[in-house]
Amino acid sequence: MQEKMGSASSMQKSISSVGKKVTATSNKVQGLDVVQKLSMPKANEKWHSWKNALNQPVTGKKRKDCQESANTRETSEVSNEYHNGHKLNIFQDDEKNIRKTIELLKLSTFDAWKYENEELIHHIIAMFKDLHILDELGITVFRLHAWLEAVEKNYRHVLFHNFRHAFCVTQMMYFMVNELNLVKKMTILQIGILLVACICHDLDHPGLSNLYQRKAHTELS
């Protein structure tokens, strides 16, 4: 019991840090309320601090637009049109194709340059499903997909520290989890923390090094 409580506390600290990064740039993302409305019934306490970090006030027309966007997303989640939409076709493929994708993701030689960002999002979801992280935290595929889309929009279009780079780091962590058989040494919750940290580690990165920031005397320095 104490071990689980310790893991949950670690999850709260990690997700809280990630939440602050997302909050810092949330004004750039239309409909970020979708992220705020992620429902995790089995892990409410574990994710409480993260959800609070994302709960920044939005007023006026922007609040109305965000709420309408969130409502549209929620409605679409339970509609046949959304479930059968092209965005999630990867999870409607036959089991053989899904397993083939997962086996490719387990390789250190996986080539992320062959895929667009939307496909990379699908691959991340495949990793979460394969490691049973969704089951552990009570998150649906559709809510994870909405969160990943919001994260992707918060990455800048820079040469290196972009969403593709975040995916590569995440995929390499997934490779190590399997190569080192970490599922026998860590809890599913801990592995989930690792993947979330990889996905979000360069959110809103301006694309320039710390050395450049210092020499240019920028605000970030």
pLDDT over threshold 50, residue 213: yes
What percent helix, strand, coil does the chain show, rounded to 5?
70, 0, 30
Q: What is the mean pLDDT of residues 71-80?
A: 43
pLDDT over threshold 80, residue 94: no
Q: Which residue did the predictor score with more confidence, 62 or 210? A: 210
pLDDT over threshold 60, residue 163: yes
Q: Of 189, 149, 155, 183, give the one whose Cα is nearest residue 169.
A: 155
Q: What is the mean pLDDT of residues 73-80?
A: 42
- From residue 121, give the alpha-carbon distance in Å to each of 79, 83, 153, 166, 198: 21, 16, 12, 11, 13
Angle at the Cα of 31 (from 63 to 14), degrees rounded to 5? 105
Residue 205 assigned to a binding site: no
Q: What is the mean pLDDT of residues 59-78?
A: 47
Residue 202 assigned to a binding site: yes
pLDDT over threshold 60, residue 90: no
The three-class DSSP label of residue 109 is: coil
Q: Of 69, 71, 59, give the one whose Cα is nearest residue 32.
A: 69
Please tell me the predicted confidence (pLDDT) of residue 220.
78
Condensed to tens digits (0 to 9), the pLDDT of residues 1-20 reads 555 555 555 555 555 555 55
Model's pTM, two decimal places? 0.59
Q: What is the mean pLDDT of residues 170-187?
A: 96
**Active-site residue flag, 145:** no
Residue 111 assigned to a binding site: no
The single residue of 48, 122, 161, 205 carrying the catalytic annotation is 161
Domain range summary for the chain, segments of one domain joined by +: 2-215
Q: Which residue did the predictor score with more confidence, 94 or 69? A: 94
Q: Of 205, 188, 161, give the one whose Cα is nearest residue 24.
A: 205
Q: Cα–chain-centroid distance for residue 74?
A: 18
Average per-residue pLDDT for the chain: 73
